[in-house]
Structure 1
Amino acid sequence: MYSFQILEGLIQEEYPLIGCESPLQERLRLLVHITQFCQNTNRKCYLWNLGEEAIKELTIKDSKLAIRGFAEYTPKPRYNKEDYFHVLSFWKEYQESGVLIIENIYPWIKENSPKETDFFLVSEWIKSSLINIKLYNQNTGKIALILGATADISSDIAAEILIWKQDLPDVSEIINSLTQAGVLPPEYTKIDVLTVANAGMGLYISDILNLLKEVRKTTDFINSEEVAIALLKQKIQLLNRLYDIEFLPPPKVQLGGLELMQESFKKFKRLLTPGAKQYNLRVPKGIMLVGPPGTGKSHSAKACSQNMGIPLIMVDWGNFRSFGNQAEIKLERLLKVADKLSQIILYFDDFDKGFAGDDDLAKRLAGKLLTWMQERTSDVLVIASVNRMEWLPPELTRAGRFDYLFKVDLPNNGERYTIFKLHAARFDERFRNGGDPWSEEEWRRILKATNRCVGAEIQTIVERAASTIFCSTVKEDIYSEEKLPPLKLTIEALLEERRQINPLALREADTVESMRNKADQQALPSSPLDSSRFAVGNIDIFG
């Protein structure tokens, strides 16, 4: 059922007091829809907000919203602050039926509102007025809709107000809205319209229509695939801006090692298939990646997105809390977006940092996330990266919360060999297509020198060595169009750069070992035992 249809049912049943949560960008669409419904059911529709200061009557004329004055309401002279809200007393006493939409009063009736004397007195007056409206307007045909972007209501009156929240539209609602708005060419087939609608999933209708206007500036709308791709790009930019996230289509990444974890990712992909649904099988509720910084946890999440072929939403959990009191609302809306997108990975980076202070906001956010993970029915896969497991509340790591815990450890010799080759291939063509210009003995020198280095540190070593070689071999005044000589990495350059850095696992040995030990106690290994030719067991100590 469409979200608006649920609201229509509540109006039809004449609930006297209804709290409505709808995003600001949907305000005009909602007002038009309510007014049209009232007109169709022979009800008067009115609007009041602090900006208008007066009640306005709403009608639909030529399919557009028409606003006109309402002579029966006279604002009260403002001798006291509660006089600003005289409309509440008026609606309680008004003798005619109808629907009154009231805006701008949620700040006075929300939970944990300011306790200053003047604000508190006005807040209590408004709450009492709303309770009286419900009491006096039973079975009178008078309905008050309290409209705002967030229906945050104080617990002392929450039971008195029925709440309706505007959900994100599903694909059928998007198709219906696009068809009614006439924004797509009439020659589009049902498949064409579905293609565009799928690209807009996770957005409200108003956002989709506005983004399609932007798309029209650069796209001719002849090919629905091109329109969908352009709309998807616009959607990604909007979501990134709204939620301070990074939305990534399935990336193309290479991961050195961690074979056991990658095999699990491939298994999870099969759980997205229709066949798995017939057996009531679903992707795990959550996966936790545990290990020291720089070991490749974020890179592993991208590899999971690649292996499963579904998009990735990256959220810095610590920074997410910077929204303050809005963090819970942002999280709730982000989870709704993820639910609508369904087959997607929601990755929370540095998950443990959000709980370092053990404050009330951290607990509320964790509770909201856990409740959603427990109750969700979509195919969203939650992945969280953690450095310090001891910072997490115990309820987060118990069975049934995060189904899989993987230890992402310091890379072994074989994995460091693979990581070196992946990064070296970016600069030295000799390493591409499986090439390897160095002897086993040369590799052993590098691997021994980089023992306890993580992937991020190996990347830094290779990049700095490539920069040093470039600066020493290519003349400064060379023209860009000239063919440059191939850049060749050397063992000596890599070893020199290694000498200039102090790996975290050596610099903070006690801390890193504590992280590894705690991960060992609860998490599964991400890598099998090193069976490469560089494994410790394959070294001839008498050679």
Structure 2
Amino acid sequence: MSFAATVRHFQTLVMSFHPIIVIETVEEERAQALVSKAANSLQMAVFDWSIAQGLARSPGSPHARWTNEYAPPHSNLPQAIGKTAEPIDMLRHVQTINFKAIYLLKDFAKHLNEAVVARQFREVAHQFAHHSSTLVITGQAIELPVEIAHEAVWFDLKLPEPDELYQAIADVSRSLQGRIKVALQPEDIHAFVQAMRGMTLKQAKKVVAYAALEDGKLDSSDVARILERKAQVIREGGLLDYFPPQQNAAELGGFTGLKQWLARAQVGFGAQARTFNLTPPKGILIVGIQGCGKSLAAKTIARQWNRPLLKLDAGRLYDKYVGQSERNFRQATTLAETMAPVVLWIDEIEKGLGLNSGDADGGLSRRLFGYFLTWLQEKSQDVFVVATANDLSQIPPELLRKGRFDEIFFVDLPEAAERTAIFKIHLSRRQQMPDSFDIAALVQATEGFSGAEIEQAIICALYRAIYQQQPLETALLLQEIKATVPLSVSRREDLQRLRAIALERFVNVK
């Protein structure tokens, strides 16, 4: 939805007598711009309130009589109305205003825990319901008392869409005029916008300004800087990790069945599939033995389809505060939808949406699981979900039934041909010549090894070779392999149980 469409949606809510609108966002300035734009078209006054400032007519608001219209932008702050800093005083004053207006109340929700303030707020809201004035509450992690929540409508201010990001690039270029050289072609600007998707407007402007000022110019080479900063911003959010296509070097040995399925599934995103009213693939679930390439498969899918990869560790969703876990899930899926087309990798899904908690968490895991199923079924954006799981016993049965995912794959221990490919990949990655090793002997020695165990044996052997000041050779590798006890031995019964269940119900990746 473009910013103009967002404004129209907000205007519709105001005109349809909604007295309380809640905008839960960290982008306070953008919410303020939305309210101002909507109010100007409706010819309504706008008042801002904060506990620090009190109530004041918003700059640029129609009939803002006590601001200097000829002063430079942002050179003076609006003059606050006397004795309106306290929430109760502000609400009583608002009740006396007899013309239509929108009141932007910043971080106001916490004050509604006071009984007198909550009662006065409801009386103002009842009054506004009859003449189209509106109270807009903004802030982060908003919780409303029950008696107020049922009268409020929540407005979803999504992350900036391309039209806002194009404007952000123009604004930064104009503000830095004379200090930087702008050398952007239309395709470069498009690449900038794609790289900025998933960031707040303020973050996007900052990262463009940083990229421009670092070398005194804004050109196509700055896309890499933006992607690097974007990965950092998403990681700082604490829920997701971001892997841009340019930095995804994943290689997957074997998995022929999965690769063939992916090649077929990719056509589901094309125009021909849409002409037949076919819905694009929703996602896949990969279950199997630890260290056998489930995580690598998720990265390879993103690389093969040339899409960004977002990784969600399901365990990160949980928070000690009531309602925050659900909010974390909404935040993660909203970010994924904003960045579409994207691959969303939910790692160890059974830890966050499984059965391990029972009733000990007050039903939170079941609620999150319900949210996930609903979102997976109804998501409208091109987000392909790759969920991975190790423990089948903790996965809810509803998730395993046909139709939830497009396919469920089982990853078993690698066979001889796959182990050959794994050895060649990891030896080459560490500047070793695979042809100088007895690969056949290594493959035979690693019967029952996972891909991760093979990689670790190579790493340990390389450390030993460096320590002994000698080149890596087959004998050193065999020595490390013999010293390793693979999972197929240490957890033989668990693996046999998993294999028995999976081979009957799921598709093998081979």
TM-score by length of 1: 0.81
Superposed counterparts of 1:40-189, under 5 Å: 41-52=42-53, 54-60=54-60, 61=69, 62-64=72-74, 66-71=76-81, 73-74=83-84, 84-107=87-110, 122=114, 124-179=115-170, 182=174, 188=184
Match of 1:347 in 2: 345
231-240 or 144-153: bigger deviation? 144-153
Shift of 1:384: 0.8
SS in 1 for 2:304: helix
Match of 2:327 in 1: 329
User: How far apart in 1 are the matches of 2:319 and 2:364?
Assistant: 10
User: How far apart in 1 are the matches of 2:309 and 2:476?
Assistant: 37
- Whether the 8 Å contact between 2:285 and 2:409 is mirrored in structure 1 is yes
User: How far apart in 2 are the matches of 1:125 and 1:398?
Assistant: 52
Match of 1:421 in 2: 424
Change in 2 beyond 3 A, CA 1:428/1:221: closer
User: How far apart in 2 are the matches of 1:180 and 1:11?
Assistant: 29
- The structure 1 residue matched to 2:467, chosen from 459, 471, 482, is 471
Change in 2 beyond 3 A, CA 1:192/1:292: closer
Match of 1:115 in 2: none
SS in 2 for 1:157: helix
User: How far apart in 2 are the matches of 1:270 and 1:207?
Assistant: 35
User: How far apart in 2 are the matches of 1:256 and 1:291?
Assistant: 16
Change in 2 beyond 3 A, CA 1:427/1:103: closer
User: How far apart in 2 are the matches of 1:165 and 1:439?
Assistant: 57
Change in 2 beyond 3 A, CA 1:495/1:364: same
- Whether the 8 Å contact between 1:466 and 1:489 is mirrored in structure 2 is no
User: How far apart in 2 are the matches of 1:183 and 1:5?
Assistant: 29
- Whether the 8 Å contact between 1:317 and 1:348 is mirrored in structure 2 is yes
Shift of 1:41: 4.8
Shift of 1:230: 2.3
User: How far apart in 2 are the matches of 1:146 and 1:335?
Assistant: 23
Match of 1:357 in 2: 357
Change in 2 beyond 3 A, CA 1:438/1:496: closer
User: How far apart in 1 are the matches of 2:228 and 2:129?
Assistant: 49
Unmatched segments (≥5 aa) in structure 2: 61-68
2:473 maps to a residue whose letter is L
User: How far apart in 1 are the matches of 2:488 and 2:314?
Assistant: 24
Shift of 1:381: 0.6
Unmatched segments (≥5 aa) in structure 1: 77-83, 110-118, 475-486, 528-543
- Whether the 8 Å contact between 1:424 and 1:489 is mirrored in structure 2 is no
The Cα offsets for residues 299-327 of structure 1, whole Å up to 9 and x where unpaired, read as 11111122222121112112332575433
- Whether the 8 Å contact between 2:461 and 2:477 is mirrored in structure 1 is yes
SS in 2 for 1:139: coil
User: How far apart in 2 are the matches of 1:322 and 1:515?
Assistant: 31
Matched, 1:411 2:414: yes
Match of 1:395 in 2: 398
Match of 1:252 in 2: 249
User: How far apart in 2 are the matches of 1:191 and 1:449?
Assistant: 52
SS in 2 for 1:468: helix
The Cα offsets for residues 400-452 of structure 1, whole Å up to 9 and x where unpaired, read as 21221100111122222222232233456431xxx364375xx2xx4443222
Match of 1:202 in 2: 198
User: How far apart in 2 are the matches of 1:130 and 1:522?
Assistant: 57
The Cα offsets for residues 121-162 of structure 1, whole Å up to 9 and x where unpaired, read as x2x544433332222223335321112224444554333112
Shift of 1:249: 2.2
Change in 2 beyond 3 A, CA 1:39/1:467: closer
Match of 2:230 in 1: 235
State the identity as a percent: 22
Match of 1:506 in 2: 489
Change in 2 beyond 3 A, CA 1:239/1:502: same
Change in 2 beyond 3 A, CA 1:340/1:28: closer
- The structure 1 residue matched to 2:479, chosen from 489, 496, 502, is 496
- Whether the 8 Å contact between 1:99 and 1:142 is mirrored in structure 2 is yes
User: How far apart in 2 are the matches of 1:177 and 1:12?
Assistant: 30
- Whether the 8 Å contact between 1:39 and 1:59 is mirrored in structure 2 is no
1:211 maps to a residue whose letter is V
1:457 maps to a residue whose letter is E
Change in 2 beyond 3 A, CA 1:194/1:472: closer
User: How far apart in 1 are the matches of 2:77 and 2:45?
Assistant: 12
User: How far apart in 1 are the matches of 2:402 and 2:176?
Assistant: 49
RMSD over equivalenced CA pairs, Å? 2.8
Shift of 1:496: 2.0
2:55 maps to a residue whose letter is I
SS in 2 for 1:271: helix
- Whether the 8 Å contact between 1:255 and 1:303 is mirrored in structure 2 is yes
